[in-house]
Amino acid sequence: MPHNEFDNSNKFPDSESAGRYSRQVQLSGFGQSAQQKLKEARVLVVGAGGLGVPVLQYLTGMGIGTIGVIDADVVSLSNLHRQVLYNENDVGKSKVETAVNKLSKLNRQVSFKAYNQLLSVKNALEIIINYDIVVDATDNISTRYLINDACVISNKPFVYGAVQQFEGYVSVFNYLNGPTYRCLYPTPPANGEIPDCNTAGVLGVTPAIVGSQQALQVVKLITGIGKTLSGYLQIFDFLQDEQYKMKLKVRPESRQITALKNSYAEVVCNTVLKLSVDELFDWYESGKKFQLIDVRELKDFITGHLTGAVSVPYNQFNAGQIKVNAKEPIVMFCQKGARSNSTAQMLQQKYPQAEIYSVLGGMEYWEDEFDDEYMISPGLQNGGGGTV
C-alpha cells in the first residue's frame, strides 16, 4: 500500500483546525483559548500498552501539540484484547513506532516523539524535562516509582493510572505541591508481594476506561477546566460498578527527593516466556525434558505438587543457587502465576541465555483444567519430586 494513502495534508490544511476541534471548542468554558493551551502542551506518555493506547488516541484526537511516547515492548497477540490501536499484522513490531505511525494518521497536526526504549534511571530526567505533564501508563511497580521520583525532582505533575483484574485506579500526583505516589505508598512492595506485569489478569475494556480517565485528567491539568483528581485516589470496581474516592495526605518527606536512586530494580514485563497450563500438560504428555521449580510455600508443596517438581519456596529463592542446565528449559511454578513470574525474571537476569518460563495461573489454573493429573500428593511419593 502506498505510504501516502493517508496523507491528507492537501485535504485538511492547518487553517481547518477550527473545524477539526469545533465540537470541543464550542463547549461552554472551553473555547479557543483552551484549545490553544492543548496545542502548546507537551505530554509524555510512559507505556504504549493497555492504558497508554487510549491515552494516546484521545490526546492525539483532542490536539495536544507535542506527544512523546516511550516503551521498549513489541506488540504481542495477548495485547490485542485491550490494546486496540494495534492489529494482528502488528504482532512483533515496535509498539511506539506502530502507535506513532497510526496516530499520525488520526491527527497530523500533532508532533510525535517515539522513544523505543525503557524509561530508566539513565534517561528518565533528560527525557521528562522536555514535557509539561507525564502520564504513568506503565504495567509495573518499579517504573511507577521511577516516574514518581523523576517527576518530583523535575517538578512535573503526573497522571497515574493502574488496573488489576476488575479494578481501576486514577490519580494526579505531584501537582502544585499536592501528594505524590510515595505519600500513598512510601516504599515499594517487595517482589511478589503484589501481582506485577498484569500477571493477575485484566479484562480488555477496563484499561480503556482508566486510560480515558487519565486523558481527561491531562486535559483538565492543561486547560484548567473543572477539578482534577490531585489529592485524591479514585478507585473503580468495574465488577460491582462501584467507586471509592480516597482523600490523600501530603507526607512532607516524600517531597524531599533530590536524586534518583541507583536502581529501581527495573522490572521488564513480558521478557519472561509464559507457559500456559495446557502447554505444560502437553510437555508432560510428550515426555519433554524440563526442570520444574515450584516456589510455593513448602506446606503447599507437600500437600500436592506436579510430577518432577522441585521445591524452592519463594522466600528462600536465590537465583544463584539454581542449577541451570542449558539443554532443558526451566519452568517456574507457583499458586497463581505472580511469584513464578518474578522469580523467572530474577533467574533470566542471572542466566540471560537460559530458556525460562513462568506458568500462567499456576496451580489454580492447573487444578481448574486438569484436577489431579500429574499431581503428586502425600503418601504417593513416586513422582521423583524433592526439595533442595
List residues binding other proteins (CB under 8 A).
47, 49-52, 137-141, 144, 161-165, 167, 169, 183-185, 187-190, 193-198, 200, 202, 207, 233, 235, 237, 240, 244-249, 336
334 labelled catalytic: yes
Q: Is there a contact between 170 and 148 (Cβ–Cβ < 8 Å)? A: no
By C-beta, is 25 or 59 nearer to other proteins?
A: 59
312: its cell numbers: 524452592
The distance of closest approach from Cβ of residue 296 to other proteins in the complex, given in angstroms and rounded to an integer, is 13
From first CA to last CA, the distance across the chain in angstroms is 58
- Of 151, 183, 197, 269, catalytic: 197
By C-beta, is 198 or 228 nearer to other proteins?
A: 198
Q: Is there a contact between 132 and 138 (Cβ–Cβ < 8 Å)? A: no
Q: Is there a contact between 228 and 173 (Cβ–Cβ < 8 Å)? A: no
The distance of closest approach from Cβ of residue 4 to other proteins in the complex, given in angstroms and rounded to an integer, is 34
Query: Going by DSSP bridges, is the β-strand pair 232-237/242-247 parallel, antiparallel, or unpaired?
Result: antiparallel
The distance of closest approach from Cβ of residue 190 to other proteins in the complex, given in angstroms and rounded to an integer, is 6
The distance of closest approach from Cβ of residue 292 to other proteins in the complex, given in angstroms and rounded to an integer, is 24
By C-beta, is 149 or 308 nearer to other proteins?
A: 149
- List of residues 6+ apart from 316 with CB closer than 8 A: none
Question: What is the 3-state secondary structure of 26-57?
Answer: CCCCCHHHHHHHHHHCEEEEECCCCCHHHHHH
The distance of closest approach from Cβ of residue 66 to other proteins in the complex, given in angstroms and rounded to an integer, is 23
Of residues 140, 162, 158, 139, the one with CA closest to residue 149: 158
By C-beta, is 189 or 224 nearer to other proteins?
A: 189
CA separation for the pair 374, 384 (Å, rounded) = 12
By C-beta, is 169 or 366 nearer to other proteins?
A: 169
Residues forming the active site: 197, 334
